Structure 1
Amino acid sequence: MSAGFPDPALGPIEPAAIRQAARSGARSRPARPLPRVTDRYVPGPAGAPEVRVRIYEPVAASASPLPAVVFFHGGGWVLCDLDTHDGICRELAYRAGAVVVSVDYRRAPEHRFPSAAEDAYAVTAWVSGQAAALGCDPTRLAVAGDSSGGNLAAAVTLMARDRGGPVIAAQLLAYPVLDHRMETRSYATYGTGFFHTTAHMRWYWEQYLGADGDGSDPYASPGLAADLTGLPPAVVLLPECDPLRDDGLRYARRLESAGVATELCLWPGVFHGFLGLGGLLPQADQALTGAARALCAALASAEREQ
């Protein structure tokens, strides 16, 4: 995986080059068939273009409304798209029994912070408002994402709390990006040799924030939010061999201290991005199944509290 992927530590790279490497290196498992998968455009933030989404429906028809999961793909806010994460979204829809709405948010460096976060929030609000038309239960709305998508999911929970809605019942954060400072020990311990490097992460932050962006903004670095109270129950999935691991551990502990029900899933011996190797790496399938079950449990708890 590392051999064909540009390394910022070895010299300047262009977004187009690293995007092509990501597309070429993305492993496609046989697509799990679902009754209906639909692409459409939905309203974006005020004054911004519409946002393309892909909607995954796990059953042809349901007698009762299904949970909804708004999913944000990873890729350092620069790479990846609906297609690179199509397999993960299909599996999540199937294993969680939920309608999954995958978001093709605006990417950096063409669109810097807060464009991606605002797109993520706008689509989440749209899904909440259109829940009945989507066959979903608005009281069982979750957000989910991997890596920079986990960053966006965490940011959306903060934005929803701060802006008075929509109500989010659960969050699934898979190896999320949480702190622009990159100061924890795991950034040194696993900074090279495990595919996703500290140099990569530094380059992604540069693309996302630009020269003038404020990395301390909690919607950019959710791990720096002063107050985590009032956030939805969380499932935090972390690989052991990941520069981002310690930020994720600290965030999970802070959520618990703030009174947020939190399930931490730490997977030994695997690396950042391992969920993309479902069908090849047993831990990827096991982790996705476990995360889907934990997310279902959090959503069921939210339903009981209504």
Structure 2
Amino acid sequence: MAAAFPGPGDVAALRAAATGGRSAGPEVASVRDGEAAGVPVRVYDPAPGGAGRPLVVFFHGGGWVMCGLATHDATCRSLAAGSGAVVVSADYRLAPEHPWPAAPDDALNVLLWARLRAPALGCDPGRVVVAGDSSGGNLAAVTALRAPELVAGQLLVYPPLDAAMVTRSTRTYGEGHFHTAAHMAWYWEQYGGDPAHPHVSPLRAPDLAGLPRTLLVLADCDPLRDEGLAYARRLGAAGVDCAVHLYPGVFHGFLGLPLPAGRAALAAAAAWLRLPPAPPV
């Protein structure tokens, strides 16, 4: 995979490489494309006619530069089929054409759109979860920081959380494990924004109290691993219900691949989404 993947710097080549090699996901009852506040979305419903179900607003990965609805179709199908939740996948604007804050603004607008329509989708407005992998995990975390009162949970899959990239895992796994530190640094450059701003680097947020329950899904051999672990520690210290699923021996991007760890991670994430909302404190 690493040999076939372009190095950082060529946007067109990276986007072309990201379109292939994806497996098909499970069947769901309905899949329909639409638009949410000007942002293209794809809505996955595992069983139309339900009520009180979770609603997942999903943001795809790809370094804020590549990927879209098609590349993460199988992941969204798996989450919907496994959890019984309706999944709204957002095709937010990409960098470098649309640098920060275009993507997080699109993410927030899709959340507002989805939550308003939760009853019509057979979902509970009190069970809305933001989710995403890689850069999409960053957008989910930022969206939860911006509107914690609107979300009941956040599912963060190997998210980049600090543009500083100073962790031990960045040094240990920065090369030779598919996703490289050089790629990540270049993605941050294309994305833009102030690296110290918490809506760019959520790990820099001064206070994480009041955030919703969280599941962090991390790959062991990933430059971003330690950012996720540091975020989990801070969430726990702030009194947030936070779980970490750390998968040994796998690399960044494993969730969307036909690997045993990827299937296990999707199943565990779907089970977490099925959990009832926490009782009021």
TM-score bracket relative to the smaller structure: over 0.9
Q: 2:61 touches 2:133 (CA, 8 Å); kept in 1?
A: yes
3-state SS of 1:254 partner: helix
Residue 39 of structure 1 pairs with residue 33 of structure 2: yes
Residue 17 of structure 1 pairs with residue 13 of structure 2: yes
Q: Give the whole-Å Cα distance in 2 for the aligned partners of 1:199 and 1:274.
A: 19
**Aligned-pair identity (%):** 54
Pairs within 5 Å for 1:121-160:
121-160=108-147
Q: 1:187 touches 1:198 (CA, 8 Å); kept in 2?
A: yes
Pairs within 5 Å for 1:213-292:
213-277=193-257, 280-292=258-270
Pairs within 5 Å for 1:174-189:
174-189=157-172
Q: 1:252 touches 1:262 (CA, 8 Å); kept in 2?
A: yes
168, 179, 189: which is aligned to 1:196?
A: 179
Q: CA deviation at 1:61?
A: 2.4
What is residue 109 of structure 1 aligned with on the other side? Answer: 96
Q: CA deviation at 1:134?
A: 1.6
Per-residue CA deviations over 1:213-255 (Å, capped at 9, x if unaligned) read 3111101110110100000000001010000000000000000
What is residue 206 of structure 1 aligned with on the other side? Answer: 189
TM-score when normalising by structure 2: 0.97
Q: CA deviation at 1:4?
A: 1.3
Q: Give the whole-Å Cα distance in 2 for the aligned partners of 1:119 and 1:239.
A: 27
Q: Give the whole-Å Cα distance in 1 for the aligned partners of 2:25 and 2:241.
A: 33
Q: Give the whole-Å Cα distance in 1 for the aligned partners of 2:62 and 2:218.
A: 16
Deviating more after overlay: 196-205 vs 52-61: 52-61
- Report the number of matched residues: 281
Q: Give the whole-Å Cα distance in 2 for the aligned partners of 1:54 and 1:30.
A: 16
Q: CA deviation at 1:143?
A: 0.5
Letter in 1 for 2:267: T
Q: 2:128 touches 2:152 (CA, 8 Å); kept in 1?
A: yes
Per-residue CA deviations over 1:48-104 (Å, capped at 9, x if unaligned) read xx0000000011322x23110000000000010000000000000011110000000
Q: CA deviation at 1:39?
A: 0.2
Q: CA deviation at 1:30?
A: 2.9
Pairs within 5 Å for 1:154-173:
154-161=141-148, 165=149, 167-173=150-156
3-state SS of 1:154 partner: helix
What is residue 66 of structure 2 aligned with on the other side? Answer: 79
Letter in 2 for 1:179: D
Task: Provide the aligned C-alpha RMSD in A.
Answer: 1.2
TM-score when normalising by structure 1: 0.90
Q: Give the whole-Å Cα distance in 2 for the aligned partners of 1:252 and 1:284.
A: 21
What is residue 57 of structure 2 aligned with on the other side? Answer: 70
Q: Give the whole-Å Cα distance in 2 for the aligned partners of 1:81 and 1:42.
A: 15
Q: CA deviation at 1:33?
A: 1.2
Q: Give the whole-Å Cα distance in 1 for the aligned partners of 2:24 and 2:142.
A: 32
Deviating more after overlay: 111-120 vs 14-23: 14-23
3-state SS of 2:277 partner: helix
